Amino acid sequence: MESVQKQWPEVMSAYQYVLTFLFMGPFFSLLVLSLLFTSFWSVSVLYLVWLLLDWDTPNQGGRRFEWTRNWAMWKHARDYYPIKLVKTAELPPDRNYVLGAHPHGIMCIGTFCNFSTEANNFSKQFPGIQLSSAVLASLFHFPIYRDYIMSFGICSVNRWSLDFVLSRRRLGQAVIIMVGGAQESLYAIPGKHCLVLRNRKGFVRLALRHGASLVPVYSFGENDVFNFKFFATNSWQYMCQVTFKKIMGFVPCIFWGRGLFSANSWGLVPFARPITTVVGRPIPVPQRLEPTEEEVDHYHMLYMEALEQLFEDHKESCGVPASTHLTFI
């Protein structure tokens, strides 16, 4: 009985993250719009006025609340998979950092749990580091949802927003970026480790402009929590996905997990597969206000080598076969 009672909070915590990720934004958009045609129209009007006044907040570091980061359900979600955070080196708070997170997976579950919540005590493992997670700017166009995600310390992944965070007077600022972005979700195949990275160099330019150290981060198991329908890159389905991404900014994917009431049926509950997020050693980067392409390429190569070495050093302890290697696209 105790095991069942413990299991349900874990399942529901993991499930609510999926529902929030997929439906909270559209739901509140429709709700705010619908209320305009009811006797509660003033509620929507007041919120829309607030939205306009608050429009630039995601580009100014967001609006972080520690109490949302410390909700008990994040620890339940952590225990469901389970999710672990592995520290391989200190991140001294006397400098700033740009963390590159890989892989994107379907919903960035490991990255969110470890860096946007205190489920694994990030602030205690890395004292003095103020971390901001950067996500797609269009997510902040959804009413209510924007305020919800900002409360976790999430900001917009554009140049102005990231420059704002790394330009704060207090050192110890860090931004974590899903470098592969939505494009990488097209390769979220269970058991595979394919990263969109070869031509992703904006995060390196960001680090050079601010003299922020680069830190590779890899979440083993991120691609294993959902089954995924992969389409060949020369197929019409893949071309439709890429075209949709160019227009909307995100990629429609076909994925499925287990059912809510039975692990033997299909549904949207993620599979309980271990996710281990490993934070690598920082790579010192000099400050160059206008970095040259040679400098960008040099530190991008150093980053790729460090990420590959991080993968090789930890893959077997995380259940990945020794014969498996990273693939860069």
Tens digits of per-residue pLDDT, 100-138?
A: 999 999 999 999 999 999 999 999 999 999 999 999 999
Spell out the domain ranges in the chain: 1-328
* Pair type for strands 255-258 and 213-220: unpaired
CATH of 1-328, one of 3.30.450, 1.25.40, 3.40.1130, 3.40.50: 3.40.1130
Cα gap 114→94, rounded to integer Å: 22
Sign of the torsion formed by the C-alpha atoms of 237, 239, 242 and 243: negative
Q: What is the pLDDT of residue 3?
A: 54
What is the secondary structure of 28-40 as a DSSP string? HHHHHHHHTTSTT
- The mean pLDDT value for 13-39 works out to 96
**Amino acid at residue number 98:** V
134-187 residue pLDDT tens: 999 999 999 999 999 999 999 999 999 999 999 999 999 999 999 999 899 999
Query: Kindly report the CA angle at 133 between 127 and 138, in degrees rounded to 5?
Result: 165
